[in-house]
Homo-oligomer: A and B are copies of this chain.
Amino acid sequence: MLKNDTFLRALRREPTAYTPVWLMRQAGRYLPEYNAIRTKAGSFMGVATNPALAAEVTLQPLERFPLDAAILFSDILTIPDAMGMGLSFTEGEGPRFEHAARDESAIRALAVPDMGKLAYVFDAIAQIQRALDGRVPLIGFAGSPFTLACYMIEGGASADFATVRRMIYSRPDLLAHLAALNARAVTAYLNEQIAAGVDAVMLFDTWGGLLSASAYRQFSLAPMRDVVAGLSLARDGRRIPAIVFTKGGGSWLDEIASIGADGVGLDWTVDIAAARAAVGARVALQGNLDPLALLTDPETVAREASAIVRAAGPQPGHIFNLGHGIVPGTPPDNVAALVEAVHTTSRESRAAA
């Protein structure tokens, strides 16, 4: 049983004593203890593919801060790696695939990977859950089908993913094929994560915001709907709640809130009060402080975080987070100030209501 289920209750829009908080990339390069492990392991993937190390770094931020959830330490690109595309990370340049899927034959040759190739992820989940011992829920995750397609076709990071965006117009059939394949792979992957014990799942749609509204609906939102619809129940028979997050999706929130997910992530450009007005009470909202606000001082961080707690309003269903991942160089003291401010301000707001 969970000792702190505030995150899950907020995700189900149930009343909570305070606003739960976790942070995208809460385990990562801003923590010296993470950097020590990464140096020892030799690379990011060296940590991610070693269940003991992945479990250790997943828990590191919880030792420092009273966060209300843990998130699996992994990467969104484990699925294409398991498809045989050869993932590596180069310092400062981000991910790179040895075998990008740039043409029709390469794309048609791809298949849903054997989940055995991702056993290191499921093993890590089991180890994390043993180490957590019910302190807080554990969030599993995957990249969205479209975001995976972006990296798979481009072969790595890109400023504008022009190859994929051009394919929307030149070969929509081929992109739809890849998005559907990825949706099946992501569904299988998240269901294995659920079987291994995660308490919630999140879909990271990092690049859906590059699309036109109609292309977003077809190539990103619809495959995410298929993934959410295909999620299995937890071992105790409960539905596993799901969060979807499209960076740059602020003008489509009403549609995003309609695909069956329990929560919708907001990037920092969104006015959270306007977002609540747009989606009503259908979903929990997760977000949305600008991660760069954490590059200041504890007082500024506390002020900015409290402003978002107040703007989110008193109704149930707000999970505090950043609008994107913590950036390297963030002082850990500022993260402490953030968590403290969210907990304190939200308790005060509830007392005053």
Q: Which residues of A contact B (CB under 8 A)?
A: 159, 162, 165-166, 168-170, 209-216, 248, 250-251, 253, 268-271, 274, 290, 292-293, 295-297, 300, 304, 307, 323, 327
Contacts and interface: CB of A to CB of B under 8 A. Distances in A.
A213 B269 contact: yes
A285 to B, nearest CB: 14
Nearest to A253: B251
A170 B296 contact: yes
A165 B271 contact: no
State the copy count for this chain.
2
Contacts of A292: 162, 165-166, 168-169
A159 B93 CA distance: 12
A216 to B, nearest CB: 7
Contact of A274 (B213, B290, B295): B213
Contacts of A169: 290, 292-293, 295-296, 300, 304
Contacts of A304: 169
Q: Which 9 A-B pairs have the closest CB atoms?
A: A213-B271, A250-B251, A251-B251, A165-B292, A169-B293, A169-B296, A170-B296, A166-B295, A166-B292
Contacts of A271: 213-214, 251
Given A170-B300, A248-B269, A251-B270, A212 B165 contact: no
Given A169-B300, A251-B251, A251-B253, 20 more contacts: A159-B159, A162-B295, A166-B292, A168-B293, A169-B290, A169-B292, A169-B293, A169-B296, A169-B304, A170-B295, A170-B300, A209-B269, A212-B323, A213-B274, A214-B307, A215-B290, A216-B269, A248-B269, A250-B250, A251-B271
Contacts of A295: 162, 166, 169-170
A162 B213 CA distance: 27
Nearest to A294: B169
Contacts of A159: 159
Contact of A269 (B168, B212, B300, B307): B212
Contacts of A268: 212
A246 to B, nearest CB: 11
A160 B274 CA distance: 24
Contacts of A269: 209-213, 216, 248, 251
A29 to B, nearest CB: 15
A185 B270 CA distance: 30
A292 B209 CA distance: 15
A279 to B, nearest CB: 13
A297 B214 CA distance: 20
A170 B295 CA distance: 8
A212 B289 CA distance: 8
A214 B288 CA distance: 12
Contacts of A323: 212
A270 B252 CA distance: 9
A203 to B, nearest CB: 19
Contacts of A211: 269
